[in-house]
């Protein structure tokens, strides 16, 4: 399999982080230059059907995009350590938290960066009203996450899961615009430190 990747972009980073947590080393990484529009070229679109990164080319030539679909597929091929849930009920709780952090934290913060950082204007015309709206929602999401992390080490289970990866990478992307994380959110701060201390944080950058 081959993973088409773009360094620094948050959605591809989820898959690379996931691969480090799993110890997956036999998937070739193919860099694609997002800011130069390499993902919009005809040969890319013909292979993947959408101008999206990350993209996974399977052994049979078929292709997948969407970071979470790719991660869940990789979990079926590399089951340990488990990051999506071991029972239907645990899987549901992890997916519930994955969605809460995606829609409440990661997506709004990623949209904030996208509509604020000048270098990303090549991807989409910056819209300050959209940036402000998303930043407000993202901050509300950070407080929700801080509340969930009260007395808990990880977001959705007694171990790191895909919910932690998606949340952290969304939050960490705001370094690009130097957005401060409120220091009053002490549970969130402790969890951010724990995520930054993982080996994956150094490899999947």
Residues lying near a copy of itself in the complex (CB under 8 A) are found at 50, 58, 62, 64-66, 68-70, 72-73, 76-77, 88-89, 91-93, 95-96, 99-100, 103, 107, 127, 129-130, 133, 144
User: b vs e for 37-71, b when ≥16 Cβ sit within 10 Å of the residue's Cβ?
Assistant: ebbeeeebeeebeeebbbbbbeeeeebbbbbbebb
- Closer residue to a copy of itself, CB minimum distance, 96 or 205: 96
CB closer to a copy of itself out of 119 and 129? 129
CB of 83 to a copy of itself, least distance (A): 14
Residue 172 Cβ vs a copy of itself, minimum distance, rounded to whole Å: 20
Q: Compute the distance between CA of residue 90 and CA of residue 87 in angstroms, rounded to an integer.
A: 5
**From the CB of 64, what's the least distance to a copy of itself, in Å?**
5
If the CB atoms of residues 76 and 180 are measured against a copy of itself, the closer one turns out to be: 76
Nearer to a copy of itself, 130 or 201 (CB): 130
Smallest distance, a copy of itself to C-beta of residue 95, A: 4
Q: What is the dihedral of CA 191, 168, 134, 183, to 10 degrees?
A: 30
Q: Where are the beta strands (DSSP E) in the chain?
A: 2-5, 28-31, 55-57, 63-65
Q: Which helix (H) or strand (E) holds 138?
A: helix 128-148
């Amino acid at each position: 399999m081959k993973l088409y990747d773009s360094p620094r972009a948050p959605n591809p980073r989820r898959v690379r982080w996931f691969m480090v947590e799993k110890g997956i080393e036999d998937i070739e990484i193919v860099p694609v230059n997002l800011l130069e529009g390499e993902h919009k070229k005809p040969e890319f679109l013909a292979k993947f059907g959408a101008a999206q990164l990350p993209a996974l080319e399977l052994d049979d030539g078929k292709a997948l995009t969407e970071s979470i679909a790719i991660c869940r597929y990789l979990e079926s091929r590399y089951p340990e350590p488990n990051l999506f849930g071991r029972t239907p009920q645990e899987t549901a709780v992890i997916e519930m938290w994955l969605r809460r952090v995606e829609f409440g934290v990661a997506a709004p913060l990623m949209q904030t960066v996208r509509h604020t950082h000048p270098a990303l204007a090549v991807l989409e015309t910056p819209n300050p009203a959209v940036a402000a709206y998303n930043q407000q929602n993202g901050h509300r999401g950070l407080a929700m996450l801080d509340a969930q992390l009260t007395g808990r080490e990880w977001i959705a289970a007694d171990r790191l899961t895909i919910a932690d990866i998606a949340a952290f990478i969304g939050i960490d992307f705001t370094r690009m615009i130097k957005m401060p994380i409120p220091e009053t959110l002490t549970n969130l701060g402790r969890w951010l430190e724990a995520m930054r201390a993982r080996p994956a944080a150094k490899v999947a950058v």
